[in-house]
Chain A
């Protein structure tokens, strides 16, 4: 989870944040970390670059990118399917 947080910080250039500043279950968007639609695009790119995962269905986005934990679970599930 910490690695994923580091990747998110780097991808989104969240300069003042450390992994421990982002809660596992903290909402990433709006009232949580305050990310927006451009950040969502960056997160899609992150999944593809780091984990070779293409988000096939855009409707899945809100659920996948809800928190760091939901992202991690999605990555783990995808890696298990592909292994």
Chain B
């Protein structure tokens, strides 16, 4: 199936087409925050006032994706989010505590649900077609993508708007920091992989894709395959899963131009990738992406967006050093990424 268009709001300049990843935006913090566009160009002023940041990011990326595709009404809208609308959730829970559980802030409560963004996109478009939201931790985006793929394969839809949205709030950052997810103190994201230490950097993002069965004149890329696997016991199992994935899709690693891997700067987490780079990936060029967007459960959507952009342009964005690659256009990309070494994802993307 084909990726007709994309749109991505992230901690990097990824939204405006002429600015895409020209320079890395550096953060001296363990938390990367999205660069937000001017929402008024995309959302009615009357609606904006009620929307929290993640809802605005979600509906804006979805709207831009549809605009890029020249599609006004998708046959289906499928979203994936692990955390949902955290800001609204935190707000109404805090108010409930403050007012001894006697009062509920209606707007925050109504909009705190995980399917709010998909619902808002449908409402804004007056689109009554299939609308579903997937909330499966580190497989939230992958589940949404799998649903979109099946809808297309079974001809339930000719095009599907699929996206992933997750935000980090001060409250969630504090809680997840207590769980030891993030590095202590400030760190520059450009140097994320320079020193081995515990923890990663928090991230967030809103990435949307319009998938279709049939190619159009402006296709970005071809999404050849998606595979997920859960809690592998060791690196050998991961290697086995990757090899099986490649065999099923009749492609050899030597024919893959680039591998995007999900290192996140956490020494324990990154061991897996480093072992793979010494074994089955040893003859391939690999690049990282989580220093750009941070770590979050739906970060694989950023990787898919990046892979799509690379095969569309045929080359790496300016933020990457290119000396390891040949001059030939990049036509095929394998994404291998995992979330906390629990949720593992493989994506195969190629040029049209």
Contacts and interface: CB of A to CB of B under 8 A. Distances in A.
Contacts of A48: 102-103
B106 A12 contact: no
A38 B49 contact: no
Query: What class of interface size applies to chain A in its complex with B?
Result: 10 to 19
A60 interface: no
A82 interface: no
B22 interface: no
Contacts of B105: 42, 45
B110 interface: yes
B87 to A, nearest CB: 13
Contacts, number: 25
Interface stretch (A13-21, A22-30, A69-77): A13-21
Contact of B107 (A14, A16, A38, A49): A38
B49 A34 contact: no
A45 B110 contact: no
A63 interface: no
Contacts of B110: 38
B106 A41 contact: yes
Contacts of B194: none
Interface in A21-67: 34, 38, 41-42, 45, 48-49
Nearest to A14: B49
Contact of B106 (A16, A34, A42, A49): A42
B50 interface: yes
A38 B99 contact: no
B45 interface: yes
B46 interface: yes
A12 B49 contact: yes
A42 B49 contact: no
Interface string B177-214: 00000000000000000000000000000000000000
B103 A15 contact: no
A38 B103 contact: no
Contacts of B50: 13, 38
A38 B106 CA distance: 7
A41 B111 CA distance: 14
A12 B49 CA distance: 8
Nearest to A16: B45
Contacts of A49: 99, 103
A15 B105 CA distance: 18
A15 B49 contact: yes
B99 A42 contact: no
Contact of A45 (B45, B46, B48, B106): B106
B211 to A, nearest CB: 33
B100 to A, nearest CB: 12
B116 to A, nearest CB: 13
A12 B107 CA distance: 9
B107 A42 contact: yes
A30 to B, nearest CB: 13
Interface in B44-77: 45-46, 48-50
8 contacts: A14-B49, A15-B48, A41-B106, A42-B105, A42-B106, A48-B103, A49-B99, A49-B103
Given A38-B110, A48-B102, A49-B99, 14 more contacts: A13-B49, A14-B49, A15-B48, A16-B45, A34-B46, A38-B50, A41-B107, A42-B106, A42-B107, A45-B103, A45-B104, A45-B106, A48-B103, A49-B103
The 3 closest A-B pairs by CB, nearest first: A41-B106, A13-B49, A15-B49
